[in-house]
Amino acid sequence: MVSIKTVAVLGGTGNLGPFIVQELVAAGFTVTGVTRAGSTNSTPKFPDGLAIKSVDYESVADLTAAFAGQDAVVSVVATAGIAAQKVAVDAAVAAGVRRFVPSEFGINTRRVGGTPIGAILAGKIAIVDYLKEQAAAHPAFSWTGLSTGLFFDWALERGTLGFSVKDKTAIVVDSGNEKWQASNLPQIGQAVAGILSHPDATANQYLGSASFNLSQNELIALVEELAGTKLAVTRVASADIQKKGEEKLAQGDFRAFIDFLHVHNFADGAGNALAPADSANELVGLPYEDLRATVESWLKKAGAL
Ligand X SMILES: NC(=O)c1ccc[n+]([C@@H]2O[C@H](COP(=O)([O-])OP(=O)(O)OC[C@H]3O[C@@H](n4cnc5c(N)ncnc54)[C@H](OP(=O)(O)O)[C@@H]3O)[C@@H](O)[C@H]2O)c1
Q: Which residues bind ligand X (CB under 6 A)?
A: 11, 13-17, 35-36, 39, 41-42, 57, 76-81, 84, 103, 105-106, 148, 150-151
Element (H, E) at 143: strand 142-147
Least distance between ligand X and beta carbon 50 (Å) = 12
Burial of 85 (0-12, 13-18, 19+ CB in 10 A): buried
Closer to ligand X by CB, 6 or 15: give it. 15
State which amino acid sits at residue 51: A
Least distance between ligand X and beta carbon 182 (Å) = 8
Asked if 260 and 245 count as a contact pair (C-beta separation under 8 A), the reply is: yes
Across 6-98, the runs of DSSP E, i.e. the strands, are 6-10, 30-36, 51-55, 72-75
Give the residue among 291, 18, 1 at the shortest CA–CA distance from 156: 291
Least distance between ligand X and beta carbon 78 (Å) = 3
- Give the C-alpha separation, 262 to 252, whole Å: 19
DSSP state of 110: G
DSSP state of 32: E
- Give the C-alpha separation, 22 to 185, whole Å: 11
Q: CA-based Rg of the chain, rounded to a whole angstrom?
A: 20
Give the residue among 188, 225, 226, 223 at the shortest CA–CA distance from 207: 188
Give the residue among 185, 177, 181 at the shortest CA–CA distance from 213: 181
Closer to ligand X by CB, 36 or 99: give it. 36
Closer to ligand X by CB, 54 or 227: give it. 54
Closer to ligand X by CB, 80 or 293: give it. 80
Least distance between ligand X and beta carbon 158 (Å) = 9
Least distance between ligand X and beta carbon 190 (Å) = 16
Closer to ligand X by CB, 82 or 93: give it. 82
Residue with the closest Cβ to ligand X?
14
Closer to ligand X by CB, 28 or 49: give it. 49
Least distance between ligand X and beta carbon 212 (Å) = 14
Least distance between ligand X and beta carbon 77 (Å) = 4
Closer to ligand X by CB, 103 or 197: give it. 103
State which amino acid sits at residue 258: I
Asked if 177 and 218 count as a contact pair (C-beta separation under 8 A), the reply is: no
